[in-house]
Structure 1
Amino acid sequence: MTIEATAAQPRAMNWRRVTRHPSLMEYNRLVFFIAAANIAVFVMGLQDGRWFGETGFALNAIADLALINLSLGILIRQQRVVNVLFWLATRIPTSWPLWMRWGAGKVFHFGGLHSSSTVFGTLWFAFLLFAMVMNRVEGAALPSNQTLGLSGAMVALLVVLIVTAQGKFRARFHNAFEKIHRFVGWSVLGLFWAQTLSITQDTGGVLLETPAFWMLCLITLSILSPWLTLKRVKVDIEKPSDHAVIARFNYGDTPFPGSSNSLSHTPFGEYHAFANIPSPHDPGYRLAISRAGDWTSEFIANPPSHVWVKGITTSGVARIEVLFKKVVYVGTGSGIGPILPHLLAGDVPNKLIWSTRNPRKTYGDAFVDEIEANTDNPVIWDTDALGKPDLAVLTLKAVRDSGAEAVIIISNQKLTRKLVHDMESLGIPAYGAIWDS
């Protein structure tokens, strides 16, 4: 297929180049909002004296802010909460103005609430620890040494979580990050329970009457729930090439299009999320897994007979397609995996651009035939034969020719951010993963 270059320049300078820049994406706006809200509360507390009591720091007021922030940071990541957020966002009908649907489609940026609330929760807990120490220095009998020790350990571990969750560390040492996040996180939860019990003992209060107790119950259930669904399941592997495999599952779960599941070789090992490929008429689902690191390379080289699946089917970026009358899907390599279920479901008219190395050799004739049979005149670009395309030009042409309202991109981080920026600079809603976890 010959694609004529469009005369329009996706990277032309205009005001949207600034307002839609990746540094100003909705994730970062949520971070700024949480930061501004917490700083405002802190400053107002200094002005009206709410952080100080008659005999020292007002520990309860500080503890409330720590609890609110940390609870929000944890609960917003809960899989059921994520699904509810996507459900609410996609209730908006396509008859509503495009700018409203454009904004609602950014629902997957909720991670900005997770990261910022966790950071500020840690800062409030550090402030609480400081206040406890100062009260003791000033002669107060409480809190007890036990409470101080538990609080100090909790703050130290929270700092470890935040430092190791930074993007560069997470990308370079992903396996270590996942283990630290899990086991240190569980330790923090245990310390939080111990601290709450110790404070209740210090004050002579009733545990069931404390807000911290009920919030801790909710947080504990939130963290525990994915592990309650942990199961070892059979997987059938089709290996069309040494670069990719098609994994088939049929254990009683047929997920919805635009969702993902997390897999691991061992119950407490590293988990990797992959987009589900359900078929409208068949039970179970498939995953397209390509070589992208040590874990996937091992999976392809030595296909397992069984894997562990944790948690529930969770909504992903492409779930927001229903907000638009027509969309352009842009995928590279195994990025076709998250796209294919939407082509099969056919809920929203679409146009497909798929750039990949020798598609039939890599993914098999049956897989490519299935794609071609379920979307109208797809652009399947063989990079082995044609080289790398200018996807910005191809995407803009597809939007204009098809009349699509939005673009959904499934690719690597660099290309995804570039295409989202290019399209939104031209006033075209565009969506792609933001690599915040």
Structure 2
Amino acid sequence: MENHEGSLSKRIVPNSGDLMQRSMSHASSHFCDLELELEDDDYDDDATLPDIEEGRDEYEKPDPVPLPFPLPPAKSKREKPKPPPSSRLSVILLDQGLFTVYKRLFVVSLAVNITLLILAATGNIGYARKRPALFSIGNILALTLSRSEAVLRVVFWLAVNCLGWSWVPLRLKTMTTSLLQSLGGIHSSCGISAVAWLIYALVLTLKHRENTSPEIIGVASAILSLLVLSCLLWAFVILTFSYDPTTDSYSKEIGSRLIKNQEFWLTVVITILIILPWITVRRVPVRISSPSGHASIIKFAGGIKAGILGRISPSPFSEWHAFGIISDGKDEHMMLAGAVGDFTKSLVANPPSHLWVRQVHFAGLPYLTNMYNRILLVATGSGICVFLSFLLQPCSAEVCLLGHPKEKVIIHDTAVLGRPNVSQMSVDAAKRWGAEVVIVTSNPEGSRDVVDACKASGIAAFGPIWDS
């Protein structure tokens, strides 16, 4: 089928047939307590957000249809206990491989900068030696672009609309997905490189201090010591280009001198990108309900496209929290917040009538579902929330959802069948569904296991990486 026909073909794949029943286990405090009945083999296109909110049995039938996918052997209940979770450093260096796309981007970007820096220091690139601050600001611009939610929203949209056609090679799509998911490698590398170039600029300034002023040296030193690059960048640029070493004074024609310099315009772009998300901050009315003490449902006006995430906060100056958005794309959308921290617990105990939001929502890995023709989505725990929008609104891809939510939405009953082998289930489902790619949302270990198992079977798979 053509990728842009707006197909509503979706399937929810239960993990068991005759044994499908509710588990009597206790609710986990780490996942939502919302009872969603996703047990039917055929998706009901009439399901709505109120159905999900109220936990209505729109997805159930009196007699469940037998499984299209055979259940893989469950893990033995007597298996050895799992080792303690790996440290963050070991996950970065070992668990996710030594040659991930993230690390390749980091190494390539850093190698280019180090090479240019060495050539500048040895006098082989005169331009870089004369303008080290420009290269530092250029790196700051690159790291800002790679993390700008507004810019990435446009980039993801372009990727889906340019590559989301059936005739586009699958290899190109998966390469693009890997690149977009790993832009943090460029962000980290450019941050280190910006500091390196700024150190070089400071060294040259101190070496030729007769051609500079104490203010410039002081500001440059403060930037390095405080690492508040974006805050003091304007002061550094203005002081540098307004100072005239021949008169040992600052020129009054600062405006005309600034607009002729590349550093000025790069700083303008960086400033706009940093400010942009904050000028869209608004205080909006919300409706919050708590099906239990373990989670809250936050409802907002306005429909949102599938695969989009948003940030909310109790105050514009406090920390911001990102959640996946559930929406039918029509009149409203909602977020599901597990009560695991002070802010999310307060939503249950004392639900506010208004919250602060950033109106520029950002695209995550699930948004790239729209770039493929047939895709398997694998979710455990509250990770299923980010995928629900693909079941509630038209999607250009044919979507198959393999859900194994923990404790409350039970499809595979661990009390009867033991812990399932989600990795093998994902491989089997992907093969039978004919999925081009698998996207998983789970805890770090679960996501890694599913991705590794799929890749070992020759199936492209993506899941959250360590800095997601």
Which of these residues, 390, 393, 417, is aligned with residue 345 of structure 1?
393
* Corresponding residue of 1:73: 143
* Corresponding residue of 2:72: 5
Q: In 2, Cα distance between the equivalents of 1:237 and 1:384?
A: 33
| Distance apart, 1:313 and its partner CA | 1.3
| Distance apart, 1:42 and its partner CA | 2.2
Gaps spanning 5+ residues in structure 1: where? 8-18, 53-57, 159-184, 361-378
Using the size of structure 2 for normalisation, the TM-score is: 0.73
Deviations 1:401-429, CA, capped at 9 Å, x for gaps: 21111111111222222322222232211
Q: In 1, Cα distance between the equivalents of 2:418 and 2:321?
A: 30
- Residue identity opposite 1:49 in structure 2: N
1:327 is paired with a residue whose SS is: strand
| Distance apart, 1:46 and its partner CA | 4.2
Which of these residues, 373, 381, 386, is aligned with residue 325 of structure 1?
373
* Corresponding residue of 1:144: 213
The answer as to whether partners of 2:295 and 2:338 remain within 8 angstroms in 1 is: yes
Q: In 2, Cα distance between the equivalents of 1:35 and 1:345?
A: 42
Structure 1 residue 391 and structure 2 residue 391: aligned?
A: no
Which of these residues, 337, 340, 365, is aligned with residue 289 of structure 1?
337
Go from structure 1 to structure 2 and tell me whether the alpha carbon gap of 1:418 and 1:51 turns closer, same or farther (over 3 Å shift).
farther
Go from structure 1 to structure 2 and tell me whether the alpha carbon gap of 1:214 and 1:382 turns closer, same or farther (over 3 Å shift).
farther
The answer as to whether partners of 2:384 and 2:405 remain within 8 angstroms in 1 is: no
Comparing 241-250 with 312-321, greater Cα deviation is found at 241-250
The answer as to whether partners of 1:244 and 1:291 remain within 8 angstroms in 2 is: yes
1:308 is paired with a residue whose SS is: strand
Q: In 2, Cα distance between the equivalents of 1:357 and 1:71?
A: 42
Identity %: 30
CA RMSD of aligned residues (A): 2.5
- Residue identity opposite 1:145 in structure 2: P
The answer as to whether partners of 1:146 and 1:198 remain within 8 angstroms in 2 is: yes
| Distance apart, 1:37 and its partner CA | 0.9
* Corresponding residue of 1:363: none
* Corresponding residue of 1:180: none
Which of these residues, 189, 194, 204, is aligned with residue 230 of structure 2?
189
* Corresponding residue of 1:313: 361
| Distance apart, 1:325 and its partner CA | 1.7
* Corresponding residue of 2:187: 114
* Corresponding residue of 2:404: 355
Gaps spanning 5+ residues in structure 2: where? 1-15, 18-69, 75-93, 245-250
Q: Which one has more relative contact order, counting CA pairs under 8 Å at least 6 apart? A: 2
Structure 1 residue 417 and structure 2 residue 448: aligned?
A: yes
Q: In 1, Cα distance between the equivalents of 2:418 and 2:281?
A: 43
Q: More helix by proportion, 1 or 2?
A: 1
Structure 1 residue 36 and structure 2 residue 111: aligned?
A: yes
Q: In 1, Cα distance between the equivalents of 2:380 and 2:344?
A: 17
Which of these residues, 278, 285, 293, is aligned with residue 227 of structure 1?
278
Structure 1 residue 212 and structure 2 residue 266: aligned?
A: no
Which of these residues, 295, 298, 305, is aligned with residue 256 of structure 1?
305
Q: In 1, Cα distance between the equivalents of 2:322 and 2:380?
A: 17
2:319 is paired with a residue whose SS is: coil
Structure 1 residue 154 and structure 2 residue 229: aligned?
A: no
Q: In 1, Cα distance between the equivalents of 2:339 and 2:424?
A: 27
| Distance apart, 1:272 and its partner CA | 0.6
* Corresponding residue of 2:27: none
Deviations 1:115-147, CA, capped at 9 Å, x for gaps: 1111111111111112211222xxxx2221000
The answer as to whether partners of 1:62 and 1:127 remain within 8 angstroms in 2 is: yes
The answer as to whether partners of 2:427 and 2:453 remain within 8 angstroms in 1 is: no
| Distance apart, 1:48 and its partner CA | 4.5
Deviations 1:257-311, CA, capped at 9 Å, x for gaps: 111110011111110111111113x312011222343432333333222111024
* Corresponding residue of 2:326: 277
Structure ID, larger Rg: 2
Deviations 1:197-253, CA, capped at 9 Å, x for gaps: 111122357112111111111111111111111111111122222222221111xx4
| Distance apart, 1:149 and its partner CA | 0.3
Q: In 1, Cα distance between the equivalents of 2:235 and 2:284?
A: 36
